[in-house]
Amino acid sequence: MNPSALSTGLSAWGEPPLLTGSQVLTNPLLNKGTAFTDRERDVLGLRGLLPPRVFTLEEQLQRTLTSLRSKSSNIEKYIYLTTLQNRNEVLFYRTVIDHIEEMVPLIYTPTVGEACQKYGAIYTKPRGMFISLRDRGHVAEILRHWPQAGVRLIVVTDGERILGLGDLGALGMGIPVGKLALYTACAGLHPGYTLPITLDVGTDNAELRAGSAYIGLKQPRARGADYDDFIEEFALAVKEVFPKALVQWEDFGNTNAFRVLHNYRHRLPSFNDDIQGTAAVALAGVLGGLRLTGGKLAEQKILFLGAGEAGTGIADLYVAAARDEGLSEAEARLRCWFVDSKGLVVQGRGDTLASHKLPYAHKHAPVATLAEAVKLLKPTALIGVSGMPATFTREIVELMAANNPRPIIFALSNPTSKAECTAEQAYTWSSGRAIFASGSPFPPFELNGVRHVSGQGNNIYIFPGVGLGALVSEAREVTDAMFLSAARTLAGLVQTEDLAMGRVYPSLTKIREVSLKIATAVATAAHDSGLASVPRPDDITEDVRGRMFEPVYREYV
């Protein structure tokens, strides 16, 4: 290799740009820090720019863990890991992958929620692009400013519904940055082909606008034609500048999320993780739970707390799965009920229902509270996607346990502070009979000598594999059938030993193998449906596996 022309090593996807000499120290994709060998230091002109001792990757990893674990708070650990990611991506991803259960809560939920709230104060270096309303008419030009050519995956937010924290505007950049880190760690997508984007259309959070550390536009959110025209320009610019890119719409508010997904899913390879990814991971959890209860999917009655994009997305995917088991669409929808801020979603309730709620507004007398709905409907599964903490009360959990030998109770709101109940509460109030999962992790809990390990119903199990499968097949569209396939694949990967401890998802330590299986299923669905843009490989699994990034140092000379 010519040492004066080092590449970023992205050959699995295309031709990379070239860097020269000591530029490797400032490029996190190439920088090895103290691991550059003596020979590399001589040839690349790095003598004097590094301490003299040469470390191995393993030695660097141990030093990193020591430093990280010395931090006193999770937000300090988040900042430390972000700094490492900005300096040395191989070491960062090696750390995350080798210690996945410890690291995921630090780089994503629940810590990323606090990080977003403080993003203006802790911001040091951009890891993505901020595109604002002031850039209208120039979005394609701005996308070309991104230094890495050939972007294949974009996670984009407008910051209106960040986890359960609401409108954080430009501070929501922590979400696409975190999601793309998970794509690399969990599914092996090379970080050089990822691009986090925040579309700054203002914020309706008056407290943020008044704050001195706020980094975004200090104006109310754009609505109506101004907003839609901006999104349209963005979508067209992506197709022009990065024609092979897959777009993940992330943390858009209910008023825009469904419309944006509907408008662009057939025009631009894209999906909404809050709607479709949440649906797949929740359905997989229900399918896993049924392996403990012995029931059939078509026999379940699901009550949702929260009727936004996550809840109705889960219900829509349940309907698709139940239809495969013989129910009609109407029969399947009648198995799904919703409680929102005004009570049970029913026909003739007196308020104007959003369009995504209408298919689930059944004929029923008005019901004011969740507890009353549980009493009357006697659901087999209770799923919380409300962002309202402590709403699964003792009364409600006890009602679920009285009506079901093994009640399915999923408190999926993120971060941990927004969970509808804790694992300890669900197990204690149900006398240990609940099949519990949550959006953010809870520690194991022992009750009457029985150790319960709850599952984390986090989208991390779904979106990395779905995105990877869509990319390797160059799918022209990401369909609901692909998410249903992903859900079934995930449920099938839950082992007997997982179920024995009450966990309805695989161990997070197996996440890369889970993502490989899901990517294979999605790529297979793309080829089977004629949506793939590349020839079908002889072995789809090996094709996917061969494209997965493994964080190891390259030898430059």
- Catalytic one of 32, 77, 78, 108: 108
Handedness of CA 110, 114, 119, 125 (dihedral sign): negative
DSSP string, 64-103: HHHHHHT-SSHHHHHHHHHHHHHH-HHHHHHHHHHTHHHH
Name the residue type at position 245.
A
What is the distance between the alpha carbons of residues 557 and 448, in angstroms, rounded to a whole number?
61
3-state SS assignment for residue 261: helix
- Catalytic one of 179, 357, 418, 517: 179
Nearest to 299 by CA among 274, 341, 334: 334
**In angstroms, how far is CA 445 from the centroid of its own chain?**
26
Note whether 279 and 311 are within 8 A (CB): no
Nearest to 312 by CA among 289, 336, 328, 334: 336
Please tell me whether the peptide bond between 415 and the residue prior to it is cis, using omega within 30 degrees of 0: yes
Neighbours of 347 (CB within 10 A): 10
Could you confirm whether 179 is annotated as catalytic? yes
C-alpha distance from residue 478 to each of 3, 47, 175, 179, 267 (Å) = 41, 49, 21, 18, 11
Could you confirm whether 183 is annotated as catalytic? no
What is the distance between the alpha carbons of residues 233 and 138, in angstroms, rounded to a whole number?
9
Residue given tokens 């890119």 in the structure block: 245
Note whether 158 and 130 are within 8 A (CB): no
What is the distance between the alpha carbons of residues 288 and 305, in angstroms, rounded to a whole number?
21
Note whether 95 and 61 are within 8 A (CB): yes
Considering only CA atoms, give the Rg of the chain: 24
Calculate the CA dihedral of residues 265, 266, 267, 270 and round it to 10 degrees: 30
3-state SS assignment for residue 419: coil
Measured between alpha carbons, how far apart are the two ends of the chain, in Å?
A: 7
What is the distance between the alpha carbons of residues 206 and 222, in angstroms, rounded to a whole number?
14
**In angstroms, how far is CA 71 from the centroid of its own chain?**
26
Calculate the CA dihedral of residues 331, 332, 337, 340 and round it to 10 degrees: -120
What is the distance between the alpha carbons of residues 442 and 141, in angstroms, rounded to a whole number?
45
The total number of residues shown for the chain amounts to 557
C-alpha distance from residue 154 to each of 149, 181, 219 (Å) = 13, 12, 26
C-alpha distance from residue 141 to each of 131, 145, 155, 238, 517 (Å) = 11, 7, 19, 11, 38
Name the residue type at position 241.
V
- Catalytic amino acids? 108, 179
